[in-house]
A and B are shown apart, each in its own frame.
Chain A
């Protein structure tokens, strides 16, 4: 997939200007913004200040597709009403690994109308990145989503919408070229097979790591391919009700519990193992698709330095490959 070819065009400054003007007509610019605390956040971009590289923001693009509290519908005397549609947003400066993550979410939520309504409003403009110490991206992992990709003086059309924007800017005669995936420092990661996972239930690594795990759920909150959610209602004084899709977390105590109190994942080790299963093997129709895009966010935020890749390596050592 690193070798997948996309139509690519030279990108002189006048085309940049035209392209930005074309995007601005329909979409509001969002992108990475550095806060006073030094953290990069995905936010509406102020004025004309556009990024020229991508940055791994604290929260991924997921926060636009699956906002952490998103109204699904409201209910009043007249019955149910679908929540208002999201505004069109163009995210400028998305790293390649995150374009993969969006592809993955697109598969999971292929039949989900609220998700698809937001997805249609999103234009994703990828940019090259400076891989950090925690980065372990892998262009072969899965296909990617997105509309445009910008390197210093070239632009690629990834989607039909991206292609149409470039044609509007009089870009023609594309060359078919691969996207500029970073190379060198991004190594292949240990992957867990179904067999290794199944035979690993009693491995010592689970209890070792679970002893440190605080069940804070930060790793899953920042993960671009974690999507657990709960459905929560809130009622206003006038009797109207809003049901929201709210981020949930497989590290939380209630996650595997049913009415009556039985808990299918009672221990912290069970939950840690569940998360690794989700990242490396996936659930349902996506079983077999590793969804860890290697962005490194979980390693960066974990307060006790739990690293799924290190767990995967230990499993290979303990249980055998």
Chain B
């Protein structure tokens, strides 16, 4: 496949504030991109400012790209100053995405930290969409503070419908997130949510997304519960400038994270020095 590094113009159709400096942005490209698999990403360009990579957090199938974007740098800051109706540019999709077929017939354990819920929400939707699916879906989601939990009401709603089970953790809090007193939430690290979780490791496939600190504490612990390392999938964050395995910023363990990843199994990551 040939790449020209030229974005496709896209309408910034909708901005939905989620939590502080974490909004949902819906883009409608003038020409449809290939459909995104959960875990794949696009490069969003604001001509004159720059571009950044972001995954999709919604499994919309109408040509739109919906992403949860944190105001974290110069280009995302410029995006936050745009209004609905503005035009941006999109390139992609890039990367491999989560191997959905590996989740079929297995219980799914999704573990997210902070903004890491965004790509996992797309995966969650893909799992829920499969109506033949019998296996359980468990979500463990940690955030620094209660106000930082993304898709909180939606996750609680799905749990109340019995479609998923969900546990939250917050690092610091005096009051737990409301208004659902029956929701499981503890103060501490997301890895602690694993401690008394009842699940069948041999039947479980895990997906993890979060900041680098989360990977250092969660991944090997997850393997210790008995889930095979080949069934623990992780999506990595890197500085991805090109998205096509050329510019070298994202390289870890000799692989272009943007192209060979960003989703790798723990088994692969163990052989990639410096990846986590």
Which residues of A approach B to under 8 Å, CB–CB?
Answer: 72-73, 75, 79-80, 82, 108-109, 111-114, 116, 194, 198, 201, 227-235, 241, 243, 245, 248, 250, 254-260, 262, 264-265, 274, 277-278, 281-285, 287
Contacts and interface: CB of A to CB of B under 8 A. Distances in A.
B9 interface: yes
B246 A259 contact: no
B239 A72 contact: no
A201 B242 contact: no
A198 B238 CA distance: 21
Given A108-B246, A258-B237, A284 B259 contact: yes
14 contacts: A73-B5, A80-B6, A113-B5, A114-B4, A228-B248, A230-B241, A235-B47, A248-B247, A248-B249, A256-B249, A262-B237, A264-B274, A285-B245, A287-B255
B5 A72 contact: yes
B245 A255 contact: no
Given A113-B2, A114-B4, A231-B50, A283 B9 contact: no
A241 B255 contact: no
A257 B239 contact: yes
Nearest to B237: A258
A275 to B, nearest CB: 10
Nearest to B271: A198
Interface in B217-273: 237-239, 241-242, 244-249, 251-252, 254-256, 259-260, 273
Given A75-B47, A259-B52, A285-B245, 14 more contacts: A73-B4, A80-B89, A111-B2, A113-B2, A114-B4, A229-B246, A229-B248, A232-B50, A256-B249, A260-B70, A260-B72, A274-B251, A278-B248, A284-B260
B63 interface: no
Q: Which 8 pairs of residues, A with B, have the shortest CB-CB distance?
A: A259-B72, A235-B48, A259-B73, A241-B47, A75-B47, A113-B4, A241-B48, A228-B248
A227 B3 contact: no
A100 B244 CA distance: 23
A284 B4 contact: no
A203 to B, nearest CB: 13
B239 A255 contact: yes
A201 B47 contact: no
By DSSP majority rule, is chain B's interface helix, strand, loop, or mixed? loop
Contact of A230 (B4, B247, B273): B247
B249 A255 contact: yes
B238 A283 contact: no
Most chain A CB within 10 A, of B70, B76, B239, B244, is at B239
Interface size classification for chain B: 35 or more
By DSSP majority rule, is chain A's interface helix, strand, loop, or mixed? mixed
B51 A231 contact: yes
Given A228-B247, A250-B248, A233 B47 contact: yes
A297 B255 CA distance: 26
B248 A73 contact: no
B105 interface: no
Most chain A CB within 10 A, of B1, B47, B73, B259, is at B47
B128 interface: no
B251 A229 contact: no
B275 to A, nearest CB: 9
A178 to B, nearest CB: 33
Nearest to B247: A229
Contact of B246 (A112, A233, A254, A277): A112
Given A111-B1, A114-B5, A259-B76, A283 B254 contact: yes
Given A72-B5, A113-B2, A231-B51, A264 B245 contact: no
Contacts of A255: 239, 249
B273 A198 contact: yes
Given A80-B7, A245-B5, A231 B241 contact: yes
Contacts of A258: 237-239
